[in-house]
Amino acid sequence: MMGNTTKGEALSPGPAPRARRRFGLLATGIIGGGILAVSSASVLIRLASAPPLAVGSWRLGLASLLLTPLAAPMLRREWPRLTRRDGLRIALAGLALAVHFASWITSLSYTTVASSVILVSTNPIFVGLAAPRLLGEKVGRRTAWAIALVLAGCVIVGYGDIDLSPRALLGDLLALVGALGASAYILLGREVRRKLSTWAYVWPCYGIAALALIAFTLLVGQPLWGYPWPTLGIFALLAIGPQILGHSAFNWALGHLSAVFVTLTILGEPVGASLLALIILREVPPPAVWLGGALILGGILLAALSQGQSSP
């Protein structure tokens, strides 16, 4: 009864609000650190003296090896929780991750860092389009407008690169394929991630993606060995920073937050990557990238507001 509640008890927050605040601070710190880590990837890839597929193979291969002592025992303990369908989803998620890295890293050889990272970050729209069929979520009017804005932004970014060269347009298309791969990776892993701890989930995904990329690298004749020590150091930085710390942070969030929200948080990467490219590589993106990028980010922000309104 209200009469039995003291003033101090009425004003003091209960355990649930305190727990939500603590989780909010934890999530903010982990996701923020993940954004900082992944923002360095495109610049590091540009600095590596190696072909794109070899970069992806080393990045994911080293990440898998470094995680093995920690993640392998976890996966062994948690594997009985999974069904055969879950195992298939993990395998497909790993292959989708390989497609993401193969196409996106290759795109950096053809177009600017800003264009590539902005276009590869359009995965919230693809996840939103797939949500009605895969997750039973309806697409509202705001989300439809958001999709239109993002598509318009992609066209403008692509048009700006047409003025530069058809080569840059190919890079833009590869970046969009990378966005599709990342979207499939997130959608496939959403349910499985809730059954496994972060490291137990990412280890097989990274391993399968690494094996697929190594096989494709050998198939197309790109060398896996013989790189100078500075490039090997960049491979290690890519494995530890953007992959283990960055991507794993988003995979942690996938177990606690919605798939659409997780993809939206990744949108901090284009800002950080473009700034690093401007500072380190002296790469100034064409004007169309700024206009198209603004439309893309505005559309995704509108999708985020729509998602928030539709949430229970």
Task: Map out the domains of the chain as residue ranges.
Answer: 36-310
Instruction: Give the C-alpha separation, 132 to 136, whole Å.
Output: 4
Give the pLDDT score at 174: 94
Q: Which residues of 265-286 are buried (b: 16+ CB within 10 A; e: fewer)?
A: bbbbbbbbbbebbeeeeebebb
- Give the tens place of pLDDT for each residue, 298-312: 776 676 565 544 444
Over 90: is that where the pLDDT of 149 sits?
Answer: no
Compare 142 and 307 and report the one with higher pLDDT: 142
**Most confident by average pLDDT, 8-22, 159-173, 240-254:** 240-254
Mean of per-residue pLDDT scores for the chain = 81
Q: Report, as an integer, the average pLDDT of 260-286.
A: 72
What is the tens place of the pLDDT at every residue in 67-100? 999 999 999 999 999 999 999 999 999 999 999 9
Lowest mean pLDDT among 39-43, 103-107, 244-248, 294-298: 294-298
Contact call for residues 239 and 202 (beta carbons, < 8 A): no
Return the pLDDT at 11.
46
Q: Looking at the predicted structure, is the pLDDT value of residue 7 above 50?
A: no
Share of the chain above pLDDT 90, in %: 39
Question: For 96-108, what is each residue's pLDDT tens digit?
Answer: 999 999 999 999 8
Q: What is the mean pLDDT of residues 223-237?
A: 95
pTM: 0.78
